Amino acid sequence: VRRRVAVLGAGSWGSAFAAVLADAGHDVVVWARREELAARITATHRNPDYLPDTDLGQAVTGTASWDDALDGAETVVLAVPAQSLRANLADRSPLPPVPVLSLLKGIENGTAARMSQVVAEAGRVAPERIAVLSGPNLAREIAARQPAASVVACPDPDLAARLTHLVQTPVFRPYASTDVVGVEIAGALKNVIALAAGIASGMGLGDNTKATIITRGLAEITRLGLALGAEAATFSGLAGVGDLVATCASTLSRNQRVGIALGRGLDLAAARAEVGQTAEGVTTAGPVLELARGVGQDMPITEAVDAVLRGGSTVQEATAALLSRPLRTEGPGSRVLRPGSTSEAPPPA
């Protein structure tokens, strides 16, 4: 069934997702802040600023009017920058009473709120009507119509299922979930772990170290998520390990590039100047540690990244500190092994 969908935000992910929706058979209106960009999207069905090589589809048009974008929309997709979400929702007309799907990844600075919490508060939307989408979805590859999968989570399982069918295309495969907290925590925290993976690459380390950081990073993200009410399976899934692996594999990601510069010994100011763009992980590490302290969770990799970002330790010191922690069992209920064990002889059979 053909639907009218409003995509609020014309960055690379919003534009690529507009193409997914057009491929799924819908009419898509993309709201762009700048009049000129909106007009170009309508005229060319392309976004010359972010995805110049991508044909978004004939069904995609642009508008710089928030109200026009929402007029007649049967679903609203949010794709504005995470830290500007609250201002966008507060300053403009209210969202219509239709399902709202958030593509945003981040933790709000100052409030440590998840994006769906900001939508509920600032947009006055009932949580049952808010869904979130996340997965290994690098915008350029989605725009190139490469096969990918994702998770659509909503407290209402029927709405999750409907939105899943709404966004399916021959190459985009969504899975339904009810774990909004898990999907949002995983999406926000992967940027911090991507910084850590970038630091390791910048230090000249290879695939073992990177895979270890991804795995132990996933373990600490999962612990925090469980403490906040998320489900463990989400972190083993597409929004968890999937997105983390794709982000850490992509050496073009901003978080990795800032990490690589830090790993080569630059300080944060120099690393930022070299990359020339904001890396979300840089502003996420602090709020995440606040969240973690609030629920009494230990996050050694996030703490190490935060210490390096604040100039409190060198990358070498941070690495040595991680490796010298007491040995433990792996998995839930992980406990420290008795240090005395080395002095005992392996037993005869």
Residues with a known catalytic role: 190
Minimum gap (Å) between residue 40 Cβ and its own copies = 26
Using CB under 8 A as the binding rule, whether residue 269 contacts its own copies is answered as no
Using CB under 8 A as the binding rule, whether residue 93 contacts its own copies is answered as no
Helix (H, G, I), strand (E, B) or coil at 334: coil
Minimum gap (Å) between residue 85 Cβ and its own copies = 19
Using CB under 8 A as the binding rule, whether residue 122 contacts its own copies is answered as no
Using CB under 8 A as the binding rule, whether residue 345 contacts its own copies is answered as yes
Q: Which is nearer to its own copies, 98 or 118 (CB)?
A: 98
Using CB under 8 A as the binding rule, whether residue 162 contacts its own copies is answered as yes
Using CB under 8 A as the binding rule, whether residue 53 contacts its own copies is answered as no
| Spatial CA neighbour of 306 closest among 206, 205, 192, 201 | 192
Using CB under 8 A as the binding rule, whether residue 233 contacts its own copies is answered as yes
Using CB under 8 A as the binding rule, whether residue 163 contacts its own copies is answered as yes
Minimum gap (Å) between residue 260 Cβ and its own copies = 16
Cβ atoms 138, 125 nearer than 8 A? no
Token couple for 344? 């005992």
Using CB under 8 A as the binding rule, whether residue 69 contacts its own copies is answered as no
Distance CA 75, CA 224 (A): 31
Cβ atoms 78, 131 nearer than 8 A? no
Distance CA 218, CA 222 (A): 6
Q: Is the dihedral of CA 331, 337, 343, 348 positive or negative?
A: negative
> Alpha-carbon dihedral of residues 81, 85, 91, 97, nearest 10 degrees?
120
Using CB under 8 A as the binding rule, whether residue 151 contacts its own copies is answered as yes
Q: Which is nearer to its own copies, 74 or 112 (CB)?
A: 74
Question: Which region, judged by CB under 8 A, interacts with its own copies, from 40-48, 97-105, 112-120, 273-281?
Answer: 97-105
**Among 44, 65, 84, 236, interactor with its own copies by CB under 8 A:** 236
Question: Which region, judged by CB under 8 A, interacts with its own copies, from 28-36, 141-149, 256-264, 274-282?
Answer: 141-149
Checking DSSP bridges between strand 148-153 and strand 130-134, what pairing results, if any? antiparallel
How many of the chain's residues bind its own copies (CB under 8 A)? 93
Using CB under 8 A as the binding rule, whether residue 20 contacts its own copies is answered as no
Q: Which is nearer to its own copies, 276 or 347 (CB)?
A: 347
| Spatial CA neighbour of 175 closest among 206, 193, 151 | 151
Q: Which residue do the tokens 């958030």 mark?
A: 102
Using CB under 8 A as the binding rule, whether residue 235 contacts its own copies is answered as yes
What does the DSSP 8-state code read for residue 339? G
Distance CA 137, CA 148 (A): 7
